[in-house]
Structures are given as structure tokens and as C-alpha cells.
């Protein structure tokens, strides 16, 4: 569900995104500037692309536990997020999301995640995309990082590969591969699934830590009304790879999410 994640807002096109929370400025933004930066990003998109072609959307969501690639970033506690996105008919898209994360016990950080990319049809039922995300954390710029990604999107599935030179500011170069799918069970209910693998390509890890971490998510999503959705899913990860959080971690959890897209 961010992605990255810690929080990418869902988009109304075939390219449905739920991830980084993975963006922001070059340094950590003071608390009062985070909402301001999100508003400025939206105004900049409108100015560049023009109102005639504008296809803006937004989302708000509450999660019982905010997990990014299987790892909790909310200390297994409820969290909320808000996002804005823009899609241009030419294939360009961009967006930003705002949430709160906990890297250390009792220390909260505002998280601003921005992304931009380009997508085009490959065939009648397949699209490709290229893009990048940047995550910025208020109060501690050590965790800021950037990822580039490439992907394929089908009607009921998507596959993406991500590369980061400095994952969560850990001085570790990483690659992440993910496969996501959804299956319609009825006109309003879908089964959802996700598997991912994070490889530490270069850089020092803690002694004895594996360079590979895997994660998975499975559940159901119910469209209650136009824009309103409820999701119940299990999410978990293995050990290994650089961890962004320092507190004791529960490796898996059952997650309840309520979101509204507009």
C-alpha cells in the first residue's frame, strides 16, 4: 500500500500505483513546509501542463499499519496519508503524497514522496513505463533517497524493477523487483496479490544480515461506493537487506485500509 510507499496515491488509469512512500526536497523539510510543498507541486503541474488537458486526481487513506515493501514504517500503528496525481494524455504523469513515519521509537517524521514518469502502449493490452521517485523526511534528511524504475502494466497485473544508489540513506545500492496482480471476484470485490524482492547490490550491511529480503501481500479490496474502498490484507517480509526502521519489528501483520479517491 508506498511506497513506497511510503505512499504513492492511486491513479485512475490502468497504471494503479500504491507505493513509495518513496520524495521531496534535497534536505528534510520543516513540518510547516511539508503541506506547503505538496500544494506548490500541484500548482507547478497545473502551470506546466495547462488546465485544458489537466487530469488531476487525489486520495486520502487510513491504514491500521503502514507497511512499505512488507516492513512497517508506523511501528505497527495506524497511519493516514493524502496524495495528489496528474495524468497527461501524452503519457506523462506525476504526483506527490504526504504521510507520517516512525524510524525510531517515539520519533515521528513527515514523509513527502514525489514521483514522475512516462507510459506508452506496447500492444493492445500491455503498456511500458519509465520513471523516478524521491522521498524526503522532515527532521532527518539522512533517510532521503531516490529510485528509478521501469515496468510493464497489463490489465490485471504489473511488474516493475527499481534501482536506488542509496536506499533510505543507508549507503547501500539496491535493486527491487515486484509483481502485482488483481482478480475480479465480483463487480465490486477484487482479490489482490503482491510479491517483491530487495537485493543489496553494494554497500556494508550489519554482520550476518542477508543481502536479499522478500515480501508478500495478499487480500481483498471492496469498492463500497464511487471512490470509497476498503481493503483487508496480510503483509509480511523476511529478514535481510537494509531496514529503514530501528525499533523492534513484527515481520507480518493483517492490515485494514480505508481509502477515498477523487
Q: d(Cα 1, Cα 196) in Å, to the nearest integer?
A: 13
Structure confidence at residue 212 (pLDDT): 86
Confidence of residue 57 (pLDDT cuts 50, 70, 90): very high
pLDDT, tens digit, 9 for 90 and up, residues 162-213: 999 998 888 889 999 999 999 999 999 999 999 999 998 887 766 666 788 8
Q: Is the pLDDT of residue 14 over 60?
A: no
Q: d(Cα 177, Cα 65) in Å, to the nearest integer?
A: 23
Residue with cell 505538496: 38
Q: d(Cα 204, Cα 85) in Å, to the nearest integer?
A: 36
Structure confidence at residue 29 (pLDDT): 36
Beta strands per DSSP E along the chain: 56-63, 67-68, 71-72, 79-87, 92-104, 107-123, 126-137, 145-154, 157-164, 173-184, 189-202, 212-225, 228-237, 252-261
Structure confidence at residue 206 (pLDDT): 65
Element (H, E) at 43: helix 33-49
Nearest to 171 by CA among 137, 205, 214, 211: 205
Topology adopted by domain 33-255: Porin (2.40.160)
Q: In the predicted model, what is the mean pLDDT of residues 26-43? A: 43
Nearest to 99 by CA among 85, 89, 117, 114: 114
| 236: exposed, middle or buried (Cβ count in 10 Å: 0-12, 13-18, 19+) | middle
Considering 104-108, 112-116, 245-249, the range whose residues carry the highest mean pLDDT is 112-116
DSSP state letter for 91: S
- Could you give phi then psi for residue 166, rounded to 5 degrees? -155, 75
Question: Which residues have CB under 8 Å from 81's CB, separation 6+?
Answer: 6, 7, 21, 60, 61, 63, 66, 97, 98, 99
Structure confidence at residue 205 (pLDDT): 65
Nearest to 164 by CA among 242, 111, 87: 242
Confidence of residue 90 (pLDDT cuts 50, 70, 90): very high
Q: d(Cα 223, Cα 244) in Å, to the nearest integer?
A: 32
Q: In the predicted model, what is the mean pLDDT of residues 146-151? A: 98
CA–CA distance from 9 to each of 27, 49, 207 (Å)? 22, 20, 36
Share the mean pLDDT of the chain: 81
**Residue that wins the pLDDT comparison between 49 and 178:** 178
Task: Look at the pTM and tell me if it is higher than 0.85.
Answer: no
Q: d(Cα 119, Cα 128) in Å, to the nearest integer?
A: 6
Amino acid at each position: 500500500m508506498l511506497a513506497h510507499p511510503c505512499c504513492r496515491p492511486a491513479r485512475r488509469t490502468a497504471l494503479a500505483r500504491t507505493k513509495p512512500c518513496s520524495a521531496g526536497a534535497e534536505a528534510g523539510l520543516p513540518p510547516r513546509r511539508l503541506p506547503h510543498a505538496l500544494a506548490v507541486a500541484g500548482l507547478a503541474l497545473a502551470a506546466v501542463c495547462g488546465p485544458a488537458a489537466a487530469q488531476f486526481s487525489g486520495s486520502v487513506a487510513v491504514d491500521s499499519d503502514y507497511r512499505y515493501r512488507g516492513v512497517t514504517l508506523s511501528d505497527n500503528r495506524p497511519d493516514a496519508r493524502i496524495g495528489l496525481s496528474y495524468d497527461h494524455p501524452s503519457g506523462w504523469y506525476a504526483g506527490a503524497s504526504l504521510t507520517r513515519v516512525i524510524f525510531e521509537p517515539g520519533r515521528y517524521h513527515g514523509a513527502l514522496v514525489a514521483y514522475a514518469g512516462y507510459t506508452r502502449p506496447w500492444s493492445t493490452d500491455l503498456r511500458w513505463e519509465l520513471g523516478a521517485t524521491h522521498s524526503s523526511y522532515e527532521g532527518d534528511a539522512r533517510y532521503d533517497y531516490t529510485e528509478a524504475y521501469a515496468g510493464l502494466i497489463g490489465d490485471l497485473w504489473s511488474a516493475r524493477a527499481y534501482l536506488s544508489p542509496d536506499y533510505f540513506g543507508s549507503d547501500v545500492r539496491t535493486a527491487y523487483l515486484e509483481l502485482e496482480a488483481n482478480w475480479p471476484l465480483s463487480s465490486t470485490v477484487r482479490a489482490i496479490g503482491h510479491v517483491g524482492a530487495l537485493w543489496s547490490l553494494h554497500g556494508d550491511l550489519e554482520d550476518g544480515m542477508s543481502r536479499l529480503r522478500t515480501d508478500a501481500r495478499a487480500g481483498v479490496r471492496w469498492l463500497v461506493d464511487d471512490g470509497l474502498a476498503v481493503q483487508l490484507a496480510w503483509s509480511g517480509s523476511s529478514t535481510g537487506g537494509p531496514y529503514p526502521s530501528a525499533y523492534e519489528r513484527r515481520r507480518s501483520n493483517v492490515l485494514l485500509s480505508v481509502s477515498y479517491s477523487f
